[in-house]
A = this chain, B = another copy of it.
Amino acid sequence: MKNRQPIGILGATGMVGQRYIQLLENHPWFEITWLAASDRSSGKTYGEAAKWRLDTPLPERIARMTVSPAEPEGAPKVIFASVDAAIAREMEPKFAAAGCAVISNSSAFRMAPNVPLVIPEVNSDHLHLIEEQPWRKESGGYIVTNPNCSTIGLVMGLKPIEERFGIEQIFVTTMQAVSGAGYPGVASMDILDNVVPYIGSEEEKMESETLKLLGALDGYAVKPLTAGMTAHCNRVPVIDGHTECVSIKLGKKLGREVTREDILAAWAEFNPLGGLKLPFAPEPPVEWCALPDRPQPRLDRNRGKGMAVTVGRLRPCNLLDWKFVLLSHNTVRGAAGATILNAEMLASLGKLEPVAAAATQA
């Protein structure tokens, strides 16, 4: 665990910030050395500033660290960020301009043309976009983003299918966990014995991010997948794990009718990283559940240490071609783990290296 890459966390006290801390505790490549949060928290120890909501203990070392102001001065050269869009819009460029690799879970820049929106198993080639960012040229810094928590699972499930058969239409209804709204987030009065059939901007995010992720890199631009897509997003009384009901119309890439076995094979054989071993990459990335009533969030969200996406109930759809159920852990695969995996991919591509150099000099 020597010479691990120093990592800073922007938004360290939030739900995703807490997950970064939990998941990085014994990370072989990365080590948290800097924590920043709102002005209210700055100057306190993390133990005082954060209301720890996870079911593993807050690491002692982290509890004693002092929360820094959210400024690039003194920050390490690799920053994991998860802050509100409005704050991200202002801060993340500051850190990028200061030479930091900003690897972000925030939504602010996901759809910016020169910012990669990446899931390593899906479109790591899009990382190339960073070379077009103004900060990259000036200071070496850049911004890379991961998708929204409900998008990631969906796209992981769709990618193996899109690759082999093409996808023309996507219909998805989500049943999303409360942790996706942060803390305090959803009021208990709103969700006990209830469903809230609305999550602000979520449907729009899913629709646009999915097509960008499945799109093709064309020079220094991403051409979104040309598929029709509609999303219905709901909040349900579940702590962690977004469940999604999906119907899809396939394309003609295969040249013959796609069978159930074809789709099961596409998922089973999905091996996008080839021989590349990344600490947070689950094997397999997409797991098939054969039981008729699965996946279920309480039982399946932790597969692959929370990084695998689970699919089940594949059956014909009367309207489109096929329908199935998909599940992923929204604060692990869908947020903190997504950022970490992006960082691992960037490290394996040598894109954290000059950064690391800079960091070790500092």
Contacts and interface: CB of A to CB of B under 8 A. Distances in A.
A275 B287 CA distance: 43
Interface in A191-250: 191-198, 207, 228-230, 232, 234, 236-239, 243, 245, 247
A178 B171 contact: no
Contacts of A230: 247, 317-320, 323
A49 to B, nearest CB: 14
Nearest to A295: B197
Interface stretch (A52-60, A121-129, A257-265): A52-60
A15 B189 CA distance: 10
Nearest to A316: B230
Contact of A236 (B55, B169, B175, B185): B175
Interface residue tally on A, bucketed by range:
35 or more
A212 to B, nearest CB: 15
A237 B236 contact: yes
Interface of A: 15, 53-57, 169-171, 173, 175, 178-179, 183-198, 207, 228-230, 232, 234, 236-239, 243, 245, 247, 292-303, 312-313, 317-320, 323, 325
30 contacts: A55-B299, A169-B319, A173-B173, A173-B245, A178-B189, A179-B189, A183-B189, A184-B184, A184-B189, A187-B188, A191-B192, A192-B237, A192-B239, A192-B298, A193-B238, A193-B297, A195-B296, A196-B296, A197-B245, A197-B294, A197-B295, A197-B296, A198-B292, A198-B293, A198-B294, A228-B319, A230-B317, A230-B319, A230-B320, A234-B243
